[in-house]
Amino acid sequence: MTPVVDIRDLVVSYATDDGVTRAVDGVCLSIARGESVGIVGESGSGKSTLGMAIGRLLAPNATLEAGDIVFDGRSVGRCDAAELRALRRHSLGFVFQNPMSALDPTMRIGRQVALAIGGEPEAAAICALLERVGLDDAPSVARRFPHELSGGMAQRVVIGLAIARRPALLIADEPTASLDASIQGLILDLLLALCRDTGTSLVILSHDLRMVARRCRRVAVMYGGRVVEAGDSREVFAAPAHPYTRALIRAAAGNEGPGGRLEPIAGVPPVLRERASSCAFAPRCADAQARCFAARPAEVAAGGRVVACHFAAGAVIAPAPAAGGRA
Amino acid sequence: MSAPAPVIAMRGIAVAYRTGPAWRRTLVPAVDGVDLDVEAGETVGLVGESGSGKTTLGRVALGLIRPTRGSFLFEGAAFDPRVRRQGALAVVFQHPEWALNPRLRCVTSIGEPLRIQGQGDSAERARKVQALLAEVGLDPALAQRYPGELSGGQRQRMAIARALITRPRFIVFDEAVSALDVSVQSQILNLILGLQQQHRFAALFISHDLAATRYVAHRIAVMRSGRFVEVAPARKFYERPDHAYSQALYASIA
């Protein structure tokens, strides 16, 4: 089956006052129909740029330098304005971090939902959509303005707007970062359930590997504008092959034992000016060798996992028997 | 006197907010009968969903609002709002932008509490600020920057430096790491642990994130609808807490 999106060796850069910054440095990733993928990385890893690039929603100072995004067989990079509008309107849904900035503060919720559905939907259709995203008392919600909603309710509305036209792909960029912890899980579960029901593919961009690994079938870890490790979520979380994935897991609160110490990743993510000629993680990597600073590691596929590390081969092969047993 | 009095001692604290128009005032209870002690050198974590009253309780502990009922002792004496307590209490918020004036260089912002207390001249304050920046893991040269020229993690370190400059005996961290990236979050959590060992301040760590809270806190109070449903050593939240609600929180991170 053809994937919904096939990202091929994508390079995106921004023109800034300090020169060119390369945010995405050769990403290959394809997303199958109905699949849920979590893209994980620190801020500055390029994950938001990648997400926005799929809908060509990048800032004006960004350029698609090389590679392409093929959406349902069409090249997003070569779409004209009308095709792009159609793509965004019919095939893509976006959910961002802050629901309040995604909603029009001057318009009642019902009207915004009507615009998202398109045409002149009946009140019953508007309420049905609001009920699908778990808002009880939909008629009352439809009459309200965004500022009259709580953050969680507003994010539910935004999710409703995003799925109104049953898109082929939904991109959620830190969808729960501005919400309360007690409802973060509920919102994610809602996103996944809706996508499962409608056959929509889901991409969740997040810095929280644990949260994503629990919910998405597949995970892609980004660093320095590249996917450094991708594979089945549980396997990646249980047996990370890339040193960066291991460092991310060790750094996150929740993975340590009682009295244990968290190990933050020393240093800061790189700001690339040009194509990385070495491993971008090498300066922060505890296991880095001379080769890591000399040559750019290629993405190597093994055992259903793709890893971009010179020394990952052994680590990837190791968990394969367990994976085979479960499959 | 044998053991020193706890820094914070609360008994039966209740807070109710008044809402509605003047002719139809209703009282909404935010905190409803809470007992809490925080000793010097101890961090108590306060977790719960939004609306459970944790921020209100933090504001009572800082003396920003008076409880409707109950007694509140600060270092063994009744908390009298007329007593000057400059520098004894501090707070670190979720967004460091709220603590740092965007138009002031960091050295001015961080030294400001000392200036208000009338301590030292500006050169001496600048020296103290630079020493403190090294302590919170920042390059002292960053003191000359504006907050907008720093990363999120650096800004939160600046906010912590500003909270620490007067050597407070009690600090409230209200969602202090919630807006940060995973790796930066663990840096700040380690910083809080290290600074507390050194300075022995009492702390209230308010968060909705049980994973971060059990890492920095010695004891954790789980709050729901204005009451504590469970108070237990942090260690307990690595295994299986008692109350059903605590278990639900635990399940979300396990």
Say whether B181 and A257 touch across the interface (CB within 8 A).
Answer: no
Least Cα distance to B157 among B228, B74, B226, B100 occurs for B100
The whole-angstrom separation of Cα A202 and Cα A194 is: 10
Of the candidates B49, B151, B183, which has its C-beta nearest A264's C-beta? B183
**Which of A103-112, A252-261, B44-53 tops mean pLDDT?**
A103-112
Interface test with B, best of A183, A210, A262, A281 (most B CBs within 10 A): A262
The whole-angstrom separation of Cα A119 and Cα A164 is: 12
Least Cα distance to A96 among A155, A47, A141 occurs for A155
pLDDT of residue B218: 95
pLDDT-derived band at A217 (thresholds 50, 70, 90) equals very high
Is B186's Cβ below 8 Å from some Cβ in A? yes
- The model's pLDDT over B14-42, given as tens digits with 9 standing for 90+, comes to 999 888 888 888 888 899 999 999 999 99
Q: Among positive and negative, which fits the CA dihedral A213, A216, A222, A227?
A: positive
Which DSSP category does B150 fall into? S
pLDDT of residue A289: 87
Of all residues in chain A, the percent with pLDDT exceeding 90 is 51
Q: Among positive and negative, which fits the CA dihedral A61, A64, A69, A71?
A: positive
The domain ranges of chain A are 5-106+145-256+265-326
Q: What is the ipTM of this complex?
A: 0.75
Among A75-84, A314-323, B161-170, which stretch is predicted with the lowest mean pLDDT? Answer: A314-323
Of the candidates B182, B208, B234, which has its C-beta nearest A208's C-beta? B182
Please tell me which residue of chain B has the smallest CA distance to A254: B211
pLDDT of residue B171: 94
pLDDT of residue A260: 83
pTM, two decimals, is 0.82
- How distant is the Cα of A42 from the closest Cα of chain B, in angstroms? 6
Chain A residues with CB under 8 Å of a chain B CB are 42-43, 177, 180-183, 185, 207-210, 247-248, 251-254, 256-259, 261-265, 268
Provide the residue type at A59 as one letter.
Answer: A
Say whether A261 and B190 touch across the interface (CB within 8 A).
Answer: yes
pLDDT-derived band at A317 (thresholds 50, 70, 90) equals very low
Superfamily of domain A5-106+145-256+265-326: P-loop containing nucleotide triphosphate hydrolases (3.40.50.300)
Say whether B183 and A248 touch across the interface (CB within 8 A).
Answer: yes
- How distant is the Cα of B215 from the closest Cα of chain A, in angstroms? 7
pLDDT of residue B2: 58
Among A153-157, A219-223, A260-264, which stretch is predicted with the lowest mean pLDDT? Answer: A260-264
- The model's pLDDT over A223-250, given as tens digits with 9 standing for 90+, comes to 999 999 999 999 998 899 999 999 998 8
- How distant is the Cα of A188 from the closest Cα of chain B, in angstroms? 12
Say whether B49 and A185 touch across the interface (CB within 8 A).
Answer: no
Least Cα distance to A180 among B252, B226, B254 occurs for B252
Say whether B183 and A265 touch across the interface (CB within 8 A).
Answer: yes
- How distant is the Cα of A47 from the closest Cα of chain B, in angstroms? 13
pLDDT-derived band at B48 (thresholds 50, 70, 90) equals confident
Collapsed DSSP state (helix, strand, coil) of residue A299: coil
Which chain B residues are Cβ-neighbours of A177 within 8 angstroms? 179
pLDDT-derived band at A314 (thresholds 50, 70, 90) equals low
Give the H or E element holding residue A226. strand A226-232
**Whole-number Cα distances in Å, A217 to A2, A112, A167, A280, A303:** 18, 32, 19, 27, 16
**Once rounded to an integer, what is the mean pLDDT over residues B174-183?**
82
